[in-house]
Amino acid sequence: MIKRCWLEQTKTAYRTCESVLESAQLHVKNLHQHREYLARLRYGGNCSACLLEPWTHTLPCKHGLCTLCLRACDGKETDGCRIIVNECPVCELSVGSRCIRKFIPPTATLRVLALDGGGVKGLVQLQVLQYLCDEIGLRDTVHISTFFDLMVGSSIGGICALGLGTRKWSLEECRMKFLKFTEQIFAPKSCFGRLLSRFTGGWFAILSNVAKLIFFDSIYDSAPIETILQESFGETSLMIQSDLEHPTRVAVVVNQASTSGPTVFANYNKSRHSKNGAYMWPAMDSLYRSLKIWEVARATSAAPGFWDTITLLGSAYQDGGLSHNNPSAIAISEANVL
């Protein structure tokens, strides 16, 4: 009984998908006569072909398409839910045989990884993932991002999610960068400062930090951490990248300094939003498309008192761990609307 019911529902779902896909293919064909006009438009967060759904895939020409229009355009669908796109349906640009985009089948759900903040916990969860990969014997053969469709992180967990998901760091590489961060960001004081602290019983260090908090709102200079993040993620690497075949979805939690409300910066777009309004989702406009990976990493790790806030998209942001040090609730919410 259960098996028969499941089979009927699955067949109905696929028949519906086939019918909708045929309609989308007809629509894309009708776009041909308007390409000269459509190529000049700016579409913001909407699909450039249907204008109804938000884009979920970007092509090298910078046009974004929803999954349905992507499947309906001139291309070849292969095994593993991959599409080799030949040309953009909006501007006629030939994108070549290596433009491959991956989509999630309608009968599947997302595989989600949530990475906590909390300093040393960032190192512990990397070691746990390494242990799991060792146990199944795939640590050196399959990248960790292959197992997940969505990675969500906060604070140091956000930096790890960006590294694993957008830069394809290995777990060992991510661990070594974590240790390098701590060595360079919390660099020891100068010899003069250490001598003064020793002779004053530590009072010099305390008074120095208090003065920094009063006059500069932070104990540490932000320049070293920004330099390290730029070296690690690249100075110009963008959150929204149109040249990647099938990037892992990555979401990072940050806090708006003026309201202490959580905001999610992500390298993907979505068609629906959380109904409870527990966090903000920036508009996917041209300004957002210029957002750099290192800037988001800097925002989610800007712990108050330690580093200054960073201004992105016209607002000041700070450490995402202030509201969601464990981002699992946001991860589940995002998975439900994707």
Residues 301-310 have pLDDT tens digits of 888 877 888 9
45 and 157 part of one domain: no
Which of 55, 81, 102 terminates a domain? The answer is 102
Q: What is the DSSP letter of 55?
A: P
63 Rama sector, left if φ>0, alpha if ψ -120 to 50, beta otherwise: beta
pLDDT surpassing 80 at residue 75: no
> Is position 6 within any domain?
yes
**Going by DSSP bridges, is the β-strand pair 75-78/150-154 parallel, antiparallel, or unpaired?**
unpaired
Q: Tell me whether residue 74 is one of the annotated catalytic residues.
A: no
46 and 18 part of one domain: yes
Q: Could you tell me the CATH number of the domain that includes residue 251?
A: 3.40.1090.10
Which of 102, 132, 155 terminates a domain? The answer is 102
118 and 96 part of one domain: no
137 and 97 part of one domain: no
pLDDT band at 330 (very low <50, low <70, confident <90, very high): very high
pLDDT band at 107 (very low <50, low <70, confident <90, very high): confident
> Is position 193 within any domain?
no
> Is position 124 within any domain?
yes
236 and 326 part of one domain: yes
Q: How many residues does the chain have?
A: 338
pLDDT surpassing 60 at residue 174: yes
Q: Name the percent of the chain lying above pLDDT 90.
A: 33
pLDDT score recorded for residue 19: 63
pLDDT band at 118 (very low <50, low <70, confident <90, very high): confident
pLDDT surpassing 80 at residue 247: no
pLDDT band at 166 (very low <50, low <70, confident <90, very high): very high
User: How far apart are the C-alpha atoms of 2 and 13, rounded to whole Å?
Assistant: 16
271 and 132 part of one domain: yes
The DSSP bridge partners found for residue 151 are 113, 250
133 and 6 part of one domain: no
pLDDT score recorded for residue 111: 93
pLDDT band at 327 (very low <50, low <70, confident <90, very high): very high
66 Rama sector, left if φ>0, alpha if ψ -120 to 50, beta otherwise: beta
Q: Name the percent of the chain lying above pLDDT 70.
A: 74
Amino acid in the structure at residue 188: P
Average pLDDT over residues 195-203: 46
130 Rama sector, left if φ>0, alpha if ψ -120 to 50, beta otherwise: alpha
98 and 116 part of one domain: no
> Is position 209 within any domain?
no
> Is position 319 within any domain?
yes
Domain with 21, as residue range(s), is 1-102
Q: Which of 218, 308, 319, 323 is catalytic?
A: 319
Q: Which of 155, 218, 323, 333 is catalytic?
A: 155
86 and 120 part of one domain: no
Hey, which of 33-47, 92-106, 280-294 has the most confident mean pLDDT? 280-294
> Is position 177 within any domain?
yes
> Is position 195 within any domain?
no
116 and 222 part of one domain: yes
Domains in the chain, number: 2
Residue 108 makes CB contacts below 8 A (sequence gap 6+) with none
36 and 139 part of one domain: no
Q: Judge residue 140's burial from the number of C-beta atoms within 10 Å of its C-beta, 0-12 exposed, 13-18 middle, 19 or more buried.
A: exposed
pLDDT score recorded for residue 312: 95
Alpha helix stretches (DSSP H) within 119-221 = 121-135, 156-166, 171-185, 191-199, 203-216
119 and 227 part of one domain: yes
pLDDT band at 209 (very low <50, low <70, confident <90, very high): very low
Q: Tell me whether residue 319 is one of the annotated catalytic residues.
A: yes
Which of 44, 78, 102 terminates a domain? The answer is 102
